[in-house]
Amino acid sequence: MLAFILRRLFQSLLVMLAVALIAFTMFRFVGDPVNQLVSLDTPQAQVAEIRRSLGLDDPVLVQFFRYLYNAARLEFGVSYQFRLPVISLLGERAPATLELAFMSALFSLLVGIPMGVYTALRRDSALAKLFQAVSLIGISLPTFLIGILLIYLFSVTLGWLPSFGRGEVVKLGSWWTTGLLTASGWKALILPSITLGLFQMTLIMRLVRAEMLEVLRTDYIKFARARGLKTRAVHFGHALKNTLVPVITIAGLQLGSIIAFAIITETVFQWPGMGLLFLKAVQQIDIPIMAAYLILISFLFVSINLIVDLLYAAVDPRLRATVGAH
Amino acid sequence: MSTTNTPSASPSPQKPPSLLARILDSDILASFLRSKVTIVAAIVVLILFIGAAFAPFIAPTDPFDPATVFLADASIPPVWQDGGDPRFIIGTDDQGRDLYSAILYGLRVSLIVGGLGVLLAATIGITLGLLAGYFGGRVDAVIMRIADVQLTFPAILIALLIDGVVRGIFKSATREDTALYVLVISIGLSFWVQYARTIRGSTLIERNKDYVHAARLVGLPAPLIMLRHVLPNVIGPVLVILTINLALAVITEATLSFLGVGLPPTQPSLGTLINIGNRYLFSGDWWIVTFPGVTLAVLVLAVNLLGDWLRDALNPRLR
């Protein structure tokens, strides 16, 4: 077991190193850090001086290790557009994105699981067929179209909910801001959360349905019925419980992509999060922000994958032997 | 995708006839005619493709010819609404361009970018998959490791990053000229993994078969064996991935254009049109965003349905 953990840990480190190399290459070679700091009429001597003070004359390998060291201390340089340290820009916007991601994950689970169970248990009812059709549309419609549709319906036509921003936010501690303590904050969260969570919701619904149908066919369910247990107990006590293991895994793995897809939702709703910052960085070719976002998001993805793998190995002893094989 | 999808898995001992003959002869045509949804989807896709291909002939006006576009015609609603103009069936956009014509041209751009992007992705993926499967060992390990890592990230994120980097590299060229190529490269580099994995899996099986050994004994060079002998036997499942990926690529292109890092308003795709329309949503000009949006949704849904059907029809286990 220890060998397995160490091997997975080593693999994750290798991936992070590769990502850092890509980020460094972008940082160092795509955008010239000096060009952004000087104007056209800065004397050459001064440019050379800045170049030396930033360590850009050192061997590339030395620069790479310096970049790694700085990244480990969360220092990603200065944004070209804002002239502020990247990490403070990202930190300022992280609470907005995390709150949005959390709410949409919650939405997708709380709506997706019951819908999945219902469509599995009442497969031929009209409502189940409607859910199925809706899920197909949910998978086909691009996120931004769903957002526009919701805005048109609930903001423009009905005027119930705001179409942009976070509403009123409350400061908690030194840097965390939350919209969960004000009515306008909650109102502002509804549309973006649904937009972001809809795709995951349809995914979870389809997954629960498929797993549930599979489980209901197994022998132990038949046996539970034969023992005379109530249908309710069989469905929710036995079947659903066994369905949820893969669902929770997938939901965990999807958490990363929720944060990535937040880029689109945040743009549609002008939500002041990390995704909107990243998009502006791509538009303005603000390389330090792009590189930092890449590293942070990769860290998140790699950590989630690592945790899921380790949990799997802890739960299922068969995996410990085979995972190392490929 | 499992390797049982390869055509060679069919039990018939004689060499199969050409692909077209097999399609006409097999259950696939029958299964197509049996599924009404698929027929409708195919007709819709066909109509949209024809509309895109012949846009310059079908469109009533050339929306990008400044001589025929007048600002005075801006934001005219569809014919059936008050203030509609029979010249513009579904209205005009903010610059007075006929929306129907703009959508036809936009569809054309969307499909060109999506199609080229998918083709690039397939080319990269098939090449790397063949190399990995045929040579194995370290080549295989490196290629597949990269594929694994890339697969953990959503394609849209990778496309956004590549888009930013490529635009950073080609800073000197103007946006308008390079936008289309940047998008094709972004999509190509974001979607190659699935092809590589599928091709590698089948190639691993094929390379140990007698005909490959024979070709090697005759002294054929490795590239020739891969291209002329292995490739035809492993290419089958790629067709399904191509179809499903076309929908994904069109969505990716539309998303990037909507986010403002794709095609510029002077050369709009469906995503760009939606982006433009979104700005006028609050002033009540609902048609500018609705019609491109519906076109995009219908296109993606129809291609998806077609892809789903194709996957089931070509899967021997489901027959």
More confident residue, A31 or B274: B274
Answer whether B157 sits within 8 Å of A31, measured CB to CB: no
The answer to whether residue B15 is domain-embedded is no
- The band of B26, judged by pLDDT with boundaries at 50, 70 and 90, is low
* B227-247 pLDDT, tens digit each: 888 888 888 778 888 888 888
Other C-beta atoms closer than 10 Å to the C-beta of A326 total 6
> Chain A residues with CB inside 8 Å of B157's CB?
260, 263, 297
The answer to whether residue B14 is domain-embedded is no
Other C-beta atoms closer than 10 Å to the C-beta of A288 total 25
Answer whether B154 sits within 8 Å of A260, measured CB to CB: yes
The answer to whether residue B145 is domain-embedded is yes
Crossing angle of the two packed helices B238-258 and B286-314, in degrees rounded to 10: 160
CA distance A282 to chain B (A): 5
Which of B110, B153, B256 is the mutation pick for testing A, counting most A CBs within 10 A?
Answer: B153
Number of domains in chain B: 1
- The band of B117, judged by pLDDT with boundaries at 50, 70 and 90, is very high
Residue A255 predicted with pLDDT over 70? yes
> Chain B residues with CB inside 8 Å of A256's CB?
152, 154
- The residues near B252 (Cβ < 8 Å, ≥ 6 apart) are B114, B117, B155, B156, B159, B186, B187, B190
For B251-276, what is the mean pLDDT?
Answer: 84
A297 has a chain B CB within 8 A of its CB: yes
Answer whether A144 sits within 8 Å of B301, measured CB to CB: no
- The residues near B80 (Cβ < 8 Å, ≥ 6 apart) are none
CA distance A142 to chain B (A): 6
A–B interface: beta-carbon pairs under 8 A = 103
Most confident stretch, A82-91, A180-189, A272-281: A272-281
The answer to whether residue B196 is domain-embedded is yes
Closest in B171, B282, B301 to A156, CB measured: B282
Which pair of structure tokens corresponds to residue A156? Answer: 């423009």
Residue B78 predicted with pLDDT over 90? no
Residue A267 predicted with pLDDT over 80? yes
What pLDDT does B315 receive? 65
Query: Helix and strand tally (H, E) in chain A?
Result: 13, 2
A281 has a chain B CB within 8 A of its CB: yes
The answer to whether residue B206 is domain-embedded is yes
The answer to whether residue B175 is domain-embedded is yes
CA distance B21 to chain A (A): 33
For A68-80, what is the mean pLDDT?
Answer: 78
Answer whether B168 sits within 8 Å of A294, measured CB to CB: no
- The residues near B122 (Cβ < 8 Å, ≥ 6 apart) are B192, B195, B238, B241, B242, B245
Residue A324 predicted with pLDDT over 70? no
What pLDDT does B120 receive? 94
> Chain A residues with CB inside 8 Å of B170's CB?
none
Closest in A139, A148, A290 to B293, CB measured: A148
B286 has a chain A CB within 8 A of its CB: yes
CA distance B185 to chain A (A): 16
CA distance B291 to chain A (A): 12
Answer whether B160 sits within 8 Å of A279, measured CB to CB: yes
Question: Rounded to an integer, what distance in angstroms lies between the CA atom of residue B258 and that of residue B248?
Answer: 15
Q: What angle do CA B270, B274, B275 make, to 5 degrees?
A: 115
- What is the rounded average pLDDT for all residues in chain B? 79
The answer to whether residue B242 is domain-embedded is yes
For A266-280, what is the mean pLDDT?
Answer: 87
Write the DSSP assignment of B79-90 as a string of letters: TTSTT--TTSTT
CA distance B68 to chain A (A): 30
* B43-58 pLDDT, tens digit each: 888 988 988 888 788 7
The DSSP H or E segment spanning A128 is helix A126-140
User: What is the ipTM score, two decimals?
Assistant: 0.77
> Chain B residues with CB inside 8 Å of A26's CB?
165, 168
Closest in A139, A144, A301 to B255, CB measured: A144
* A141-150 pLDDT, tens digit each: 888 888 888 8
Residue B3 predicted with pLDDT over 90? no
Answer whether A145 sits within 8 Å of B304, measured CB to CB: no
What pLDDT does A325 receive? 44
Answer positive or negative: Cα dihedral of B119, B120, B123, B128.
negative
Spell out the alpha helix ranges (H) of chain B: 19-25, 27-34, 36-53, 55-58, 99-135, 137-151, 155-169, 175-190, 192-206, 210-218, 222-224, 231-234, 238-258, 270-279, 286-314
B211 has a chain A CB within 8 A of its CB: no
Largest CA distance in chain B: 78
Which of A144, A265, A309 is the mutation pick for testing B, counting most B CBs within 10 A?
Answer: A144
Answer whether B261 sits within 8 Å of A143, measured CB to CB: no
* A120-173 pLDDT, tens digit each: 888 888 888 888 888 877 777 888 888 888 888 888 778 787 777 777 777 777
Answer whether B169 sits within 8 Å of A30, measured CB to CB: yes
A138 has a chain B CB within 8 A of its CB: no
The answer to whether residue B76 is domain-embedded is no
For A14-22, what is the mean pLDDT?
Answer: 85
What pLDDT does B125 receive? 92
Phi-psi region of A165 (alpha: psi -120 to 50; beta: other; left: phi over 0): left
CA distance B165 to chain A (A): 7
Cβ contact B100:B85 at 8 Å: no
> Chain A residues with CB inside 8 Å of B164's CB?
281-282, 285, 287, 290
Residue A236 predicted with pLDDT over 80? no
B160 has a chain A CB within 8 A of its CB: yes
Nearest CA in chain B to A266: B259
Answer whether A152 sits within 8 Å of B167, measured CB to CB: no
**A277-281, A309-313, B193-197: range with lowest mean pLDDT:** A309-313
Answer whether A287 sits within 8 Å of B293, measured CB to CB: no
For A19-36, what is the mean pLDDT?
Answer: 75
**A44-53, A93-102, A265-274, B21-30: range with lowest mean pLDDT:** B21-30
Answer positive or negative: Cα dihedral of B160, B161, B167, B171.
positive
* B175-213 pLDDT, tens digit each: 667 788 888 888 888 888 889 988 888 888 888 888 888
The parent domain of residue B210 ranges over 28-63+92-318
The CATH code of the domain that includes B146 is 1.10.3720.10
The DSSP H or E segment spanning A17 is helix A2-25
Answer whether B297 sits within 8 Å of A141, measured CB to CB: yes
Cβ contact A268:A147 at 8 Å: yes
What pLDDT does B40 receive? 87
Answer whether B261 sits within 8 Å of A282, measured CB to CB: yes
Answer whether B255 sits within 8 Å of A260, measured CB to CB: no
What pLDDT does B5 receive? 46
CA distance B2 to chain A (A): 16
CA distance A231 to chain B (A): 32
Answer positive or negative: Cα dihedral of A281, A286, A287, A293.
negative
* Residue B136 exposed, middle or buried by CB count within 10 Å (0-12, 13-18, 19+): middle
User: How would you classify the pairing of strands A170-172 and A176-178?
Assistant: antiparallel
